[in-house]
Amino acid sequence: MARWIARAVLGGLLIGCLLVMGTAFRVWYVGRSDHREQTDVIVVLGAAQYNGKPSGVLRARLQHAKRLYEHDVADTILTTGGSQPGDVSTEAKAGAGWLRQHGVPDRSVLAVSDGRNTLGSLRAAASVADDRGWQDSVIVSDPWHSLRARTMLRDLGMAASVSPTHTGPIVRSRSTELRYIVRETGALLYYRLTPSPTDTVDGFELLS
């Protein structure tokens, strides 16, 4: 009996290790994707802003989204992200303002400020997309955040691909990349293994 229990425990540990390693590989692999085909909307995930000024992380995402827009990937850039207590602006509004200041026409920018984390922001974006008849999207975030964001948006019923930014503070060093891959692996597994995923998935949240 003890031998069978030991084998069962060992087998469980092996399956768990394979699951974690496989998920980490997918986080890394999808982070290297770059969708440039035409789609309905470019969805920019929010990150910190300071009195309406995007942080370095958010600015890198916005710069990448602007390049996609200039290459006719989509006619509209949708910025996401709410606010934290005491903020005078939202991540979405700060992102939209930056895009307008840098030459993207007002008609091509849409700020959706509902949601204070990835899942909440994507729910709000999917709702707006449904109202406007948009079916396809490309998500702009950081590389290691891309798989979880794509998974969530697809689960919300919207076709989604990714085109991550490869500039900004989060992709400056190998050690930083590794840290985020590990944490995004944990966040994605939590999301996938929770029977009824809610915004508490962002208990793991590092990338808004």
State how far the Cα of 40 lies from the Cα of 98, in Å rounded to an integer. 21
State how far the Cα of 85 lies from the Cα of 110, in Å rounded to an integer. 23
pLDDT band, residue 205 (cuts 50/70/90) = very low
If one counts every other C-beta atom within 10 angstroms of the C-beta of residue 184, the result is 27
State how far the Cα of 193 lies from the Cα of 200, in Å rounded to an integer. 13
Condensed to tens digits (0 to 9), the pLDDT of residues 27-42 reads 999 998 898 899 999 9
> What CATH number is given to the structural domain containing 94?
3.40.50.620
Q: Would you say residue 195 has pLDDT above 60?
A: no
Q: Which residue has the higher pLDDT, 65 or 87?
A: 65
Asked if residue 2 belongs to a domain, the reply is no
Q: What is the arithmetic mean of pLDDT over 144-156?
A: 95
Asked if residue 173 belongs to a domain, the reply is yes
Residue 177: domain span:
29-204
Number of domains in the chain: 1
pTM for the structure as a whole: 0.87
> Exposure pattern of 137-169 as b/e (b: 16+ CB <10 Å)?
bbbbbbbbbbbbbbbbbeebebebbbbbbeebe
| Residues 40 and 137: beta-carbon distance below 8 Å | yes
Residue 117, SS3 per DSSP: coil
**Residues paired with 110 in a beta bridge:** 78
Asked if residue 17 belongs to a domain, the reply is no
